[in-house]
Amino acid sequence: MDTLPPLSALPSGGRLTVDLSALVGNWRTIRSRVGAAEAAAVVKGDAYGIGLEPAARALHAAGCRTFFVALPRGGVRLRAVLPDAVIYVLNGFFDGAGPVYTAARLRPVLGSRAEVDAWLAETGGSGEPAAIHVDTGMNRLGLTRDEAVAVAADAGLLARLRPALVMSHLACADAPGHPLTAEQIRRFTEVRALFPGVPGSLSNSAGVDLGPEVHHDLVRPGIALYGARWAADRPPLEPVATLEGRLIQVNEVPAGAAVGYGAAFRAERPSRIGIVSVGYADGYLRRAGASDAGPGASAAIGGMRVPLAGRVSMDMLAVDLTDAPAELCRRGGWVELFGRTVPVDEVAGHAGTIGWELLTGIGDRYERRYVGG
């Protein structure tokens, strides 16, 4: 039997093109907006779906030195390609994984008194770097204010802990004028004063344009780096990811003919329907599809928008190519599902979700191409 080619060389139903130059440009834009604060990079969720290692290498080469991941395994992957970076684990310290944190020089973001105690027990109070997360109103992770006061007042504990960062997380900064944002800013300023000399971090992407009282010493942009919208009143930066699907068949269907499962969509005129080899198994959400009751998301071919036709199925979706140039509508061609012509947030909106979910849900069946950087 002949030797089979590697899986990466086999045909794919879709391809993801990642513009690393756009990623770096977005980081530099953010850095220019935050004054003297350091601009870190949040690369959790496989760098929001675009690939942790290539994204981190490009950002590090541009000057980014501090990174945030969600889990220890992300930190270990990151350490393998960035031996000198500062790496924080946002989901904190996982019991039993102490040797991993030590060997990979990962800094847990400690979000409860129990977690602080577990970290000190693991490290023997040797002062291994860690962050303290204080809840300022999100009620997700973080020490309460009273717990933070107790930690700050315990000189012996602080001497063993020696926090490298005190941080919190904005819950509603993407909604202009939300009253909780001002309250969180006030609470964090008070809490940070309990830890003199320790750098502070409050700003996620949504806080970048809110000024120095949010920036503190370090900002933690995530979704803004990847070119999706991070706040209702601010336009996204440069798109980084372009998702395309391969045309595997083009059908001429008569007026009134049903397309896809459930006969939920019927052609209103004689139509050219393209079948694209991408579906919800690839992370393209089913709710983005179209029906007679209302339009779904758009796609694009040759820079021209075309509507989806019918439901998204597991491995395929259909697009209406009737108005597109016939020479583009051929088997083997490519259809943009989101990218520069069709913004990821627009597709996400049709699916009833946000750009974060669409990006991080990108599956592993795509051919991946990296350009720029």
48 carries an active-site annotation? no
Q: What is the pLDDT of residue 9?
A: 82
Same domain, 220 and 308: no
Q: Which of 88, 261, 366, 370 is catalytic?
A: 261
Of 171, 197, 226, which marks where a domain is finished? 226
Same domain, 127 and 174: yes
> CATH no. for residue 139?
3.20.20.10
Whether 332 is in a domain gets the answer yes
Q: What is the pLDDT of residue 1?
A: 53
Q: What is the pLDDT of residue 279?
A: 98
The model carries a pTM of: 0.95
Half-sphere exposure for 345 (CA within 13 Å, toward CB): 16
What's the rounded Cα separation, in Å, for the pair 259 and 253? 9
Same domain, 89 and 194: yes
Of 226, 257, 274, which marks where a domain is finished? 226
Q: Tell me which residue range forms the domain holding 250.
A: 241-371
What's the rounded Cα separation, in Å, for the pair 352 and 345? 10
Same domain, 268 and 126: no
Q: Which of 44, 226, 280, 284 is catalytic?
A: 44
Whether 234 is in a domain gets the answer no
Same domain, 185 and 259: no
Alpha-helix residue ranges (DSSP H) falling in the chain = 20-33, 44-48, 52-62, 72-81, 98-104, 113-123, 145-153, 155-161, 179-192, 212-215, 344-350, 355-360
Residue listed under structure tokens 């020089």: 105
What's the rounded Cα separation, in Å, for the pair 168 and 371? 35
Whether 109 is in a domain gets the answer yes
Same domain, 204 and 322: no
Same domain, 60 and 199: yes
Same domain, 92 and 210: yes
Q: What is the pLDDT of residue 126?
A: 86
Whether 55 is in a domain gets the answer yes
Whether 125 is in a domain gets the answer yes
Same domain, 245 and 221: no
Q: What is the pLDDT of residue 5?
A: 86
44 carries an active-site annotation? yes
Whether 162 is in a domain gets the answer yes
Q: E strand or H helix at 87, and its extent?
A: strand 86-89
Question: How many domains does the chain divide into?
Answer: 2
Same domain, 147 and 262: no
**Can you list the residues of the chain whose pLDDT is less than 50?**
none
Same domain, 217 and 72: yes
What's the rounded Cα separation, in Å, for the pair 110 and 92? 5
Whether 21 is in a domain gets the answer no
Counting DSSP H helices and E strands in the chain, the numbers are 12, 19
Same domain, 219 and 262: no
Whether 27 is in a domain gets the answer no
Q: What is the pLDDT of residue 140?
A: 95
The CA distances from residue 111 to 89, 121, 128, in Å, are 11, 16, 16
Of 226, 260, 292, which marks where a domain is finished? 226
Q: What is the pLDDT of residue 363?
A: 87
Q: What is the pLDDT of residue 138?
A: 95
> CATH no. for residue 338?
2.40.37.10
